[in-house]
Amino acid sequence: MKIRFSKAIRVKLVVFFAIVISLQSSVKDFIAEVRLYAKSAPCKFASYDENFKTIRGILPKFSAVEYFSDKNGSELDKLEDLGLTRYALAPVIVMNTPEPRFILAHFHEPIDVEAFCAGNHCQVLHNTHNEIVLFVKKARP
């Protein structure tokens, strides 16, 4: 005995399964976001706020600043670092620009700041223990 479904029932089943698959994907993405923010924890936001407070005061509001980080780890860790930096510096716009006036470097490893300046034609505007350094680009001759 073969069971036959009407065309209307088959269409409803296809729509139902499409909705279930879509919801499953959305729930999975939502859970991933929750885990990311749970991993960041509020204390991480507070520490970024504190670390970038001086820099935020130096930069003009709504200015664009290029961001450089030597953070090792997964792409998710690097994106988290960039996102937290953008949060801490708002309303300053953190992005990659072809000719930035300011460069913000967040070093996680020891670095020769003078060599960085020479290689990027910039000078130090503010240095926080060689960890967070704000550079201003030198005018090109």
pLDDT of residue 45: 74
pLDDT tens readout for residues 15-56: 998 898 888 888 887 787 777 766 655 667 778 888 888 888
**Which pLDDT score is estimated for 16?**
92
First to last CA, the chain: 88
**Distance, CA of 106 to chain centre:** 13
Going from N- to C-terminal start, the domains of the chain cover 41-137
**Tokens linked to 73:** 């780890």
Selection from 111, 108, 100 nearest residue 140 by Cα: 100
CA nearest neighbour of 59 among 115, 101, 110, 12 = 101
Q: What is the pLDDT of residues 80-137, one digit of tens each?
A: 888 888 888 888 888 877 777 888 888 888 888 888 888 888 889 888 876 888 988 8
Residue of 114, 121, 116, 79 lying closest to 100 (CA atoms): 121
